[in-house]
Amino acid sequence: MEVLITDGMMKKSLSVLRSVAPIATRTGVVSSYYCSMAGISRFADEQHRVRRTSPRAYVDGVNDVVDRFGYDHVLPVGGWTTNVFSEHRDAVSAPVDEVLPAPESMRIAQDKWRSYLLAKALDVPAPETVRLDSESDLAEAMELQFPIVVKAGTESVPRYVAYASSETELHASFDEYTERYTDAPLAQEYLPGQGCGFFALYLGGESAGTYSHRRIREFPPSGGKSACAESITDDSLSEYGTRILDALGWNGPVMVEFKRDADGTPNLIEINPKFWGSLDLAIASGLDFPGAMLRYLRDGTRPDFSFRPRRFHWPLSGDIQHAVARPDSIPTVLDDIVSPRTATNLSVRDPLPHLVEGAKAVVSPFLGD
């Protein structure tokens, strides 16, 4: 089985590649760049460049790679790519239905307002939210207690989060957003608690494995991607996450993101209908989701996972940057770097990707994939 993996500049694509390479007969990596993190891995047989000029042009570019090199399957990794493949699935040369949810389920997951309405209909806690279709909706938003979170209305792009502590700041955030983007932003109640997530793989429309995690450190420290995290089991996260995914008739990988309120109750923040940045943690915890997907595609085999809680950090993709931003965390970051109890994505058997990973950490404000 020959497999093509997208979004080669993302660290989670490197995770996918390292997992599926022992199963695949040949592996390829697609990126917007001539050289990518996963593309220079010892586990990649080929790397290909396909630029993102438009969704359909990207699909056509991937199709050209699939047709010329004979790949049997394409595994979409990033949010933009997964959404494009979902919307254009009938045009993709390789079969992708088995690794994607139904189109309407994907659209609900991508749309944070529709996800919020679904949560309310299912009695899943969620922060009070107002969609700002026009300036007149700001009056309703101001009924929320400050600070108010102003965020993008879609999961993948654009990436925008602002915190308004007054009416003036709320208006300014709305104006800034609407000047830059065409979709309607959301105003949302701010929750003071810890961010947490429920992660799942659905195969053939049925859950094949789940777990949760808690973030120990993030970058940026004010709230961002996991720099260090621990895998856990959490009954409330599992209950709410499964309720949402079953209602959507989900298929494929997914993260359901929550944040705890003042009482510790998890509230739905958004659905991330794709592989997630902390995928390494799942694999280290005995839940090799990418490998399970490929085996399922090959012969219909369903996994029999054995979960074990683990602690994981990404030194070059957030943790060192966290320490620079928060010097008081330097001792704990250093302890995780040297501790055999903390797993890491750094590999002496596959070192070249980490040269790109380190370079990307320096220039990441200017990079996509």
CA atoms within 13 A on the CB side of 158: 17
Q: Quickly state the pLDDT bin for 364 (edges 50, 70, 90).
A: low
Q: Quickly state the pLDDT bin for 13 (edges 50, 70, 90).
A: very high
Q: What is the mean pLDDT of the chain?
A: 93
Confidence check: pLDDT of 156 > 70: no
CB 215 within 8 A of CB 255: no
pTM of the model: 0.91
Mean pLDDT to the nearest integer, 171-192: 93
pLDDT at 157: 60
- Rounded to the nearest angstrom, the gap between the alpha carbon of residue 355 and the centroid of all alpha carbons in its chain is 23
Residue with tokens 């902390």: 278
Q: Quickly state the pLDDT bin for 366 (edges 50, 70, 90).
A: very low
Token pair belonging to 119: 């949560």
pLDDT at 369: 44
Give one DSSP letter per residue of 208-243, joined into a string: EEEEEEEEEEEESTTS-EEEEEEEE--HHHHHHHHH
pLDDT digits (tens, 9 = 90+) for 196-227: 899 999 999 999 999 999 889 988 887 778 89
pLDDT at 316: 92
Distance, in Å, from the CA atom of 323 to the CA atom of 345, rounded to the nearest integer, reads 18
Nearest-10 Cα torsion for 162, 9, 77, 83 = 60
Domains and CATH numbers, the chain: 2-96 (3.40.50.20), 128-189 (3.30.1490.20), 195-360 (3.30.470.20)
